[in-house]
Amino acid sequence: MFAGPIIAREVLTAPRSPRYYLWRASFACFLFIVMWTAWQSLIGWRQVTEFGVMARFGAVLYVMFAVLQLTLMLFFAPLFTAAAIAHEKDRRTFTLLLMTDLSDLEIVVGKLVSGMLNILVALAGIGGMLSLCALFGGISFGQVLNLILVTASSGLAGGAMGLLIALWRDRTFQSIALTVLTVVFSVTGVEVFTLLFPTLQLLGVPLAEVLNPYRAMLAVLHPRSDELVGIIGASSLVYIIVRLTFASLLVAFGTFMLRKWNPGRNEPRELREGTEVEFVETLVEVDEEAAQTPVAVGAVAVTESVTVHERPARVATTSTQRAGAGGNGAARRAGLGGDDGAQSTTGLHVPRRTHRRIAAPAQRYRSSWDNPILFRELMTRAYGTKPLIIKGCYILLFALGMGMFSHFGWAIESPMTTGLGLIPIGLTILSLILVNAQGVTSLTSERDTGALDLLLVTELSPKEFIYGKLYGVLYNCKEMIALPVLSAIAMCALGKLSTENTVLFLIDFLLLCHFSAMLGLHAAITYTNSRTAVANSLGTIFFLLIGILICAYLIVLSDREFGRQLLSFLIFIGAGSVALFGSLGARNPSRAIGLVALLTPFWSFYCVISLLNGDILAAFLFSAGIYGFALLAMLVPAVSEFDIALGRTNAIQG
C-alpha cells in the first residue's frame, strides 16, 4: 500500500474487532442524546412556529458540538498516539520495529496515522451532526467545514506532539502524563502570554487566535465580515497553516531523533552490563597493587585460570586492556613469560583474587518492610528519576492557573461562583486524571515487561499487592494531591471560601483521588491489553467528569426548569450507566459493579442540581456515598478474588 505497511496494517486490522463498530455507534447515539437533551432544555414539548427559535437551537447545538469535538480531539489524539508508542516500548517490540527495512519517516508517520485513525473516524462522524445544525438555520455550511478543518489541524498537531513525547520517554506514565500536561499548558501558557503581550499579531490575526485552539474555534463561531476569505476565514486559515507547520516540524524532529532516543538508556540489560564492567575494572585497580608481590601472583596464576571462561568476552577484554601495562610486568616477574603484545590477549592476565586483595567497601542494604510492594513504591525510585519532570511541569502549570485566578478574582467576593471557578475546577480534574494515569500504568508496565509474572509466584498476599500499589500511586502523585488541598486551605484563609465548604471539598477530593487510583488499577486488572486498559481507564474518568459538566451546562441553559427536561436527562443518564457498566464490569461483572454503573450517573446528576441550588451538604453526602461505594466495589473483589493470580491476565497475552 502506498501509505506504508504500518498504516496498511492498522486499516486492515482495526475494523475486524466488533468493538470498533460498537464504539462508533455508541458515539453517534451519544451525540443524538445530547441533541435531544438540548432541545428539551431550550424548547421542551411546546410547538415551534417561529424560525428564530430553530435558528437559536441550531446555534446552541453547534457551540456544544464544537466544544465537545475540539476537547475530545485535543485530549485523545495525543494520548492515543503516545500510548501506541509507549505500549510497544513496554513490550520491547519497538526495538524490533527499528530493525526492519522501514525508514524512519515511515515509522513515525505510520505510528502517527495509526494512532489517530479512530479519532479521525469520530471526527468524520460528527461532521454529519454539525451539518444538521446548518439545516436548523443560523449556521452556514462554510462554518461547518471551517470548524472541521480547525479541529482536524488541532488534532494532527496534538497527535504529533504526543508521538514526539512518547519517542523521547521510555515509560508509559511519563509519556501519558507529559502529554496531558503539555496539552493543558498549550492552552494556559498561551493565555498567560497573550495577557502579557495583548497587541501581538501574526499576519494581521491576534496571537491568541493563532495559538489557542479554543479562541480559534470562537473565531469560527462568531466570524467577522471583514475577515472572510472565501469559505475559510482569515484567522482560521492562519491557524490551520500554523498548526500544520508545527505538526510537520514535530514529525521531522521526531524522525531525526528516532535512532538517537531509541532504544533508551534505561534498558535493564544495559544497566546490568554497565555495572558488571565497572565492577571488573575496580578489581583490576585493586589487583594491580596485589600484583607487586610475585609470590602471591605465581601462587594463584594456575589455580584460578579456569575462571577466564566463566566471564563474558567483553568483560575479559576490558580487564585485559586495563592490565596491559602493569599486569604484563608482574606476570613476567612471576615467571609466566610473554611479551607486551602477544600475552595481552590471553586469559592469564585476567585479574586474580588473592588473600592480599584490598576488599571493596561493603554496600549498605536497606531492610524491606512487611509489605515489600509498598516499600518499593515509597522508599525507592520505582519509576525512575524522570517523573520529577512531570511534577515540575504540573507545579508550573498549577502556579500559572492559580495566578490567573488570583489576578482576576482578587476584587471579587466569591470568585468560585463566577466563571473564574472553572480554573481551580479544571486543575482539580487534571489532578484526578494524572492520578488515574499513574494507577493504570503502574500495573500495565509491569505486565508488559514480564515483572508481574515474577510477583505472582512470590508469597505476596492479594491485600499486600493491591494496597501497596494503591498507596504507592497516591504517594507518587502527592504533588498533584497536595497542591489542590493547599489552594483550598489558602482560599479559606483569605475568605474566598467558607470553612464548611473547604472541609467538605477536602474530604470529597481525597475520596475521589482514591477512586481515580483504584479505577486505574481495576482497568489494568480487567484488560490484558495495555492500550485497551489505558483507553478505558482514562476514557471513563474523562467522560464521567465531562458528562457532569455537560449536565450542569444544560441545566443552566434551561434556567433550571427541571420538569420539562427530566425525561431527556433520564435517557442521557441511562446511556451513561450503560457505558459505565461496559467499561467497569463487562469483562468481570458483579452485582456491586452493576449497582455502581446504575447509580453513579443518577446520583451525580442529583449532586449537580444540589450544587446549583446551593445545597452543598446534600451534594457532599451523595457524592461521598456513591463514589465511596464505587471504590469499595472495585477494591473488595481485587483483594478477595485477585483476578491476576487466577490467571486472567498474562504478560504475553493481548
Q: Between residues 304 and 199, which one has the greater pLDDT?
A: 199
Give the H or E element holding residue 229.
strand 228-229
Q: What is the mean pLDDT of residues 486-507?
A: 90
pLDDT for the residue 508: 92
Mean pLDDT of 540-559: 75
Rounded distance between C-alpha atoms, residue 62 and residue 221, angstroms: 8
pLDDT in tens, 42-69: 776 777 767 677 888 888 888 888 888 8
- What 8-state DSSP symbol labels residue 385? S
Higher pLDDT among residues 242 and 387, named by residue: 242
Total-model pTM: 0.75
Q: What is the pLDDT of residue 335?
A: 42
pLDDT at 279 over 50: no
Alpha carbons 158 and 250: distance in angstroms, whole number: 10
Report residue 246's pLDDT band, with 50, 70 and 90 as the boundaries.
very high
Q: What is the C-alpha separation between 562 and 560, in angstroms, rounded? A: 6
Confidence of residue 266 (pLDDT cuts 50, 70, 90): very low
Q: Is the pLDDT reported for residue 82 higher than 80? A: yes
* Residue 407 amino acid letter: H
pLDDT for residue 100 is more than 80: yes
Domain boundaries, the chain: 5-262, 292-349, 373-640
Which DSSP symbol is given to 138?
A: S
Question: What is the rounded distance in angstroms from the CA atom of residue 422 to the CA atom of residue 419?
Answer: 6
- Of the listed ranges 83-92, 306-315, 364-373, the least confidently predicted one is 306-315
* pLDDT given at position 4: 76
Q: Rounded to an integer, what is the distance from CA 647 to the centroid of its chain?
A: 27
Kindly report, residue by residue over 562-610, the tens digit of the pLDDT: 555 666 667 777 777 888 888 887 777 788 888 888 888 888 878 877 8
Q: Could you tell me which residue, 480 or 321, shows the higher pLDDT?
A: 480
Read off the amino acid at residue 44.
Answer: G
Residue closest to 160 by CA, chosen among 199, 196, 121, 186 = 186
Mean pLDDT of the chain: 75
135-185 pLDDT per residue, tens? 877 777 888 888 888 889 999 999 999 999 999 888 788 888 888 888 888
Does position 345 have pLDDT exceeding 60, yes or no? Answer: no
Give the model's confidence band at 3: pLDDT under 50 very low, under 70 low, under 90 confident, else very high: low
Q: Is the pLDDT confidence value at 537 over 60?
A: yes
Which residue has better confidence, 588 or 96? 96
Q: Report pLDDT for 629.
A: 92
For residue 39, give the C-alpha cell.
Answer: 432541545
What per-residue confidence (pLDDT) applies to 365? 63
Cα separation, 489 vs 478, in Å, equals 16
pLDDT reported for residue 352: 47
Among 12-26, 105-119, 506-520, where is mean pLDDT lowest? 12-26
With residues binned 3-state (H G I as helix, E B as strand, rest as coil), the percentages for the chain, rounded to 5, are 75, 0, 20
pLDDT at 390 over 80: yes
Q: Say if residues 167 and 85 touch (Cβ distance below 8 Å).
A: yes
Residue type, 502: T
For residue 641, what pLDDT is reported? 64
Average pLDDT over residues 14-41: 78
pLDDT band of residue 125 (cuts 50, 70, 90) is confident
pLDDT tier at 342 (50, 70, 90 boundaries)? very low
* Residue type at 238 in one-letter notation: V
For the chain, the first-to-last Cα distance in angstroms comes to 26
Model pLDDT for residues 287-301, shown as the tens digit of each residue = 444 444 443 333 333
